[in-house]
Amino acid sequence: TVAWPHPQKFGANPETLADAGFYHNPSPYDPDNVCCFMCGKELAEWEEHDDPFKIHAEKCPKCPWVVLNFAFGNTSSADTVLSFHVSSSSPSTKISPTSNILYEARLATYGPGGKRKWWPHDGRKKHGANSKKMAAAGFIFQPEIDSPEDDTATCLYCETTLSGWESTDDPL
53: domain CATH number? 1.10.1170.10
Do the domain assignments include residue 133? yes
Return the higher-pLDDT residue of 29 and 98. 29
Number of domains in the chain: 2
Same domain, yes or no: 30 and 89 = yes
In the prediction, which pLDDT does 86 show?
37
Q: How far apart are CA 52 and CA 116, in angstroms?
A: 27
Q: Which residue has the higher pLDDT, 170 or 97?
A: 170
- Report yes or no on 2 lying in a domain: no
pTM, two decimal places? 0.71
The DSSP bridge partners found for residue 154 are 140, 161
Asked if residue 142 has pLDDT above 70, the reply is yes
Determine the 3-state secondary structure of 153 from DSSP. strand
**How do beta strands 139-141 and 42-43 pair?**
unpaired
Helices (H), the chain: 14-19, 52-59, 64-71, 78-87, 91-95, 100-108, 131-136
Do 62 and 91 lie in one domain? The reply is yes
The mean per-residue pLDDT over the stretch 113-139 comes to: 85
Range of the structural domain that residue 125 is part of: 116-162
16-67, pLDDT tens digit by residue? 999 999 999 999 999 999 999 889 999 999 999 999 999 999 999 889 988 8
